[in-house]
Amino acid sequence: MWKTVLRRILIMIPQLLILSLLVFILAKMMPGDPFTGMINPNSDPKEIARLRQEYGLNDPVWVQYTRWLGNMFHGDLGQSYIQKVPVTSLIWDRAVNTFWLSLMTVVLTYLIAIPLGVTAGRHQDEWQDHGVQIFNYITYAVPPFVFYILGIWLFGFTLGWFPISGSVSADVNPGTFAYFWSRFYHLILPSILCALISTTAIVQYLRTGIVDNKVEDYVRTARSKGVPENIVFNKHILRNSLLPIAAFFGNTITGLLSGSMVIESVFSYPGMGKLFLDSIGQRDYTTLTALILLFGVLTLIGNLLSDIIMSIIDPRIRIK
C-alpha cells in the first residue's frame, strides 16, 4: 500500500503545477487593481503606476509566474498588498483559528450524525426514523446562512448565551486561562451550527447502508445460526454500513480546514474562509493565489486520506 501512496504523492506534483498555473492566470484576469482598496480615488495616477512597478505588476505574466513559483519553492508566498505582511504568516494565523473550528465541527458532526443514522436505519419506517428524516429535510432545505443567522438571533441576541463575532474577547491577556476559555467559548455556537448543517449526508448514507445491509444474505445466515441480534447488527450490519462514512472522513476534514466561508463570514470569525473572501474583494492577488493553491493541496490530500482509510477498514479495497 505504501508504494501506492508514494506513487499518488508523486502524481500530485504535476497536478499542483497545472493548478498553480491556472490559479495564477485566473487571478491576473480578475478586473480591478490590487491597490484599489489602498489608494484614495483622488490619488495621483503616477503614484499608482509607481506602486505597480515596485511590485512587478508591469512585468509579463510569465515572468511574474516564474518568479512567484520560484519564491514559493523557497517557502516565500509573497507579501499581502493590503495587510503589508508576509502571506505565509497571514495564512498561518488564520489557519490556527480555522483548525480549532474545524476540529470541533468534525467531532460534533460525527457525534450527532452517527447516532441519528443508526437510529433511523435500525428503526426503519418507525417514528424514530420519521423524526430523523424530518430533521434531515430541515437541515438540507434551509440555506446555511439563514440557519446561522437564526442561530445568532436566538442564542446570541435573544438568549445571550454565546458571543456572535470574533475568535476571542478583546479584554483578556494571551496565555492566561481566561484567554483559552474565551477562545473555546467563541467556538461553541459556530461549531454546533456548522455541525448540524454538515450531518445531512452522513446521516442519509448511514441510514441507507443499514437498511440495505439488513437484507443481505450474510445477515440472514448469521441470524439463522442463532447469532444474537446485537452482534449481528454491530459486527455485520453496522460495520459494513460505515464504509461510505469512512470515505467521507478525509474530505470532511480537509474541507473544513479550508474554512467555511459562510460560517466565518456570518460570525466575522478570522479564519481562512473569511480571508479568502476578503482577498477577492480587495484584489489581494498574492494572498488569493496562495489560498487557492493551499485548498487544492488539501483536496488532493483529502482524497488520498479517504482512500487509505477505506483500504484499512475494508481489506478487499486496494487503492490504485
Q: What is the pLDDT of residue 291?
A: 84
User: Residue 32: what pLDDT?
Assistant: 59
pLDDT, residue 315, reads 59
Residue 3 pLDDT: 72
Of 64, 54, 66, 71, the residue nearest 28 (C-alpha): 64
Neighbours of 286 (CB within 10 A): 23
Q: What is the pLDDT along the chain (320 residues), one digit of tens a residue?
A: 667 777 777 877 888 888 888 877 777 776 655 665 455 555 666 766 776 676 666 677 777 788 777 777 777 777 776 777 788 888 888 888 888 888 888 889 889 988 898 888 888 888 888 898 898 888 888 888 888 888 888 988 888 888 888 878 877 877 788 888 888 888 889 989 888 888 888 888 888 888 888 777 777 887 787 778 778 777 777 777 777 776 666 666 666 665 577 888 888 888 888 888 888 777 777 788 888 888 888 777 777 777 777 666 665 655 55
pTM value is 0.76
d(CA 98, CA 19): 23
Rounded CA Rg of the chain: 24
pLDDT at site 224: 81
Q: 82-113 burial, b if ≥16 CB within 10 A, otherwise e? A: bbeebbbebbeebbebbebbbebbbebbbebb
